[in-house]
């Protein structure tokens, strides 16, 4: 029996991304007491992203711990601090820290608008 192939078109990927966003919306509406359900939503969102080879948007990625995959309820199971132009998010479940810069890295590429102004056209 021939093996069936599953095509993942752009249409399917768009639907999957909407589902991921919806799952994070559901999780954000929950109370910190329902952390098991919120963690389940994160698990499902990650599974959908893996199945359809999608990146979870950066804004949503900061809402769960990259080490233990628990949903972050800030001030309940996570803490946010700034230090040396970095944002540090600490997870109370796994005691790990997630750091990233607050200042965006400078790009060396010249923008096309700037070159037009310099040329005088
Ligand atoms: Zn964690």
Structure confidence by residue, pLDDT tens digits, 44-67? 999 999 999 999 999 999 999 999
- Mean pLDDT for the chain overall: 87
pLDDT at 112: 56
Secondary structure string (H, E, C) spanning 31-73: CHHHHHHHHHHHHHHHHHHHHCCCCCCHHHHCCECCCCCCECC
For residue 53, the CA-to-ligand 1 centroid distance in Å is 23
β 86-91/78-83 pair status = antiparallel
DSSP assignments along 85-114, one per residue: TEEEEEETTT--EEEEESSPPPP-SPPHHH
Domain residue ranges in the chain:
10-103
In this prediction the pTM is 0.76
Name the nearest CA neighbour of 62 among 32, 85, 42: 42
Specify which residues 98 forms β-bridges with.
Answer: 89
pLDDT in tens, 96-119: 999 989 887 677 666 555 555 555
Return d(Cα 65, Cα 67) in angstroms, integer. 5
Q: What is the largest CA-CA distance in the chain?
A: 67
Residue 85 pLDDT greater than 60, yes or no: yes
Return d(Cα 63, Cα 45) in angstroms, integer. 12
For residue 11, the CA-to-ligand 1 centroid distance in Å is 33
- How many other C-beta atoms can be found within 10 angstroms of the C-beta atom of residue 78? 20
For residue 112, the CA-to-ligand 1 centroid distance in Å is 42
């Amino acid at each position: 029996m021939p093996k069936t192939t599953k095509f993942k078109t752009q249409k399917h990927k768009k639907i999957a991304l909407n589902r991921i966003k919806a799952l994070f919306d559901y999780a954000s509406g929950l109370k910190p007491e329902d952390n098991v359900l919120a963690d389940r939503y994160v698990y499902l969102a990650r599974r959908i992203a893996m199945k359809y080879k999608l990146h979870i948007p950066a804004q949503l990625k900061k809402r769960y711990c990259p080490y233990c995959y628990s949903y972050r309820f800030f001030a309940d199971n996570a803490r946010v601090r700034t230090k040396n132009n970095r944002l540090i998010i600490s997870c109370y479940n796994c005691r790990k820290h997630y750091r990233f810069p607050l200042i965006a890295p400078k790009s060396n590429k010249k923008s096309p608008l700037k070159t037009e102004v310099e040329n005088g056209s």
